[in-house]
Amino acid sequence: MMTLESVKRLNNQVVSLLDCGLFHEAYQLSLTAMVHFQEMVSMPEISNYTSSSIDEYMVALGNSRGGAAGDFVYQHGITFTSAMVEDPSTITSILIFNSALSHQLLASAMYYKEPASLYQRLLEKAKMLYKLAYSEQRGDYNYIFKLTVLNNIGVICRLLDEEEQAQECFDHLVSLLMQGVVQSGVCDHTTTHFEQFWANLTVKHVAPAA
């Protein structure tokens, strides 16, 4: 029977595959990890934990990845550590986030190489998963996680020419970024993230003439 530790190991394998650029393999394994965890969510031994912060497990990387439009995409998966609190909402959000990222990076790797319909389906699925990951996380302490999800959804919406939705995401992103600027310690801890997210907000996409 699949255990919680086994699911966490699957998740960490997904992150390793993403780091190696094996996006299709990461995409497939991320779905497997989510299915196995879904089978376990009703188990009493993993249902009574308090929420924990996702932010401390998120890596501030210089090796960012640009989307097809040149936008910054936070590309690093989130790894479980042995010290992590076994909180179902945190586990769920991380599993879903890594699957969303796998879909997004696989789509980016397929750009100009595969049928446009497949590229679009992968981006649509990634967007849906990011929204689900955002809704599953709890509390006000997943600050970087929220920024990351909003940023990546905004980039996807731009690629899908959904400018109104993209603007909504980036407006929300601006609001959260401004909150971080006025909070002591937050800006110093997330400087790399802040710079990249702000850069995305300066990208202008001109709508086609009517």
Tell me what pLDDT residue 134 has. 92
Q: What's the whole-number average pLDDT of the chain?
A: 80
Return the pLDDT at 198.
73
Region 12-37: mean pLDDT is 95
CATH dotted code for 4-201:
1.10.3450
User: What is the distance between the alpha carbons of residues 110 and 132, in angstroms, rounded to a whole number?
Assistant: 24
Q: Are the beta carbons of 30 and 70 closer than 8 angstroms? A: no
Average pLDDT of 87-108? 93
The answer to whether 78 and 102 have CB atoms below 8 angstroms apart is no
Q: Please, which residues have CB within 8 angstroms of residue 96's CB and are 6 or more apart in sequence?
A: 34, 129, 130, 132, 133, 136
What integer is the mean pLDDT of 137-159?
Answer: 87
Q: What tokens appear for 113 in the block?
A: 């190489």
61 vs 86, higher pLDDT: 86
pTM: 0.84
- H-run or E-run covering 28: helix 23-38
The total of other beta-carbon atoms located within 10 Å of residue 144's CB is 25
Nearest CA among 81, 107, 88 for reference residue 15: 81
How distant, in Å, are the alpha carbons of 74, 84, 135, 142, 205 from that of 93? 16, 14, 8, 11, 31
Q: What is the pLDDT of residues 18-30, one digit of tens each?
A: 999 999 999 999 9
The whole-number pLDDT of residue 5 equals 87
Domain boundaries, the chain: 4-201
pLDDT at 10: 95
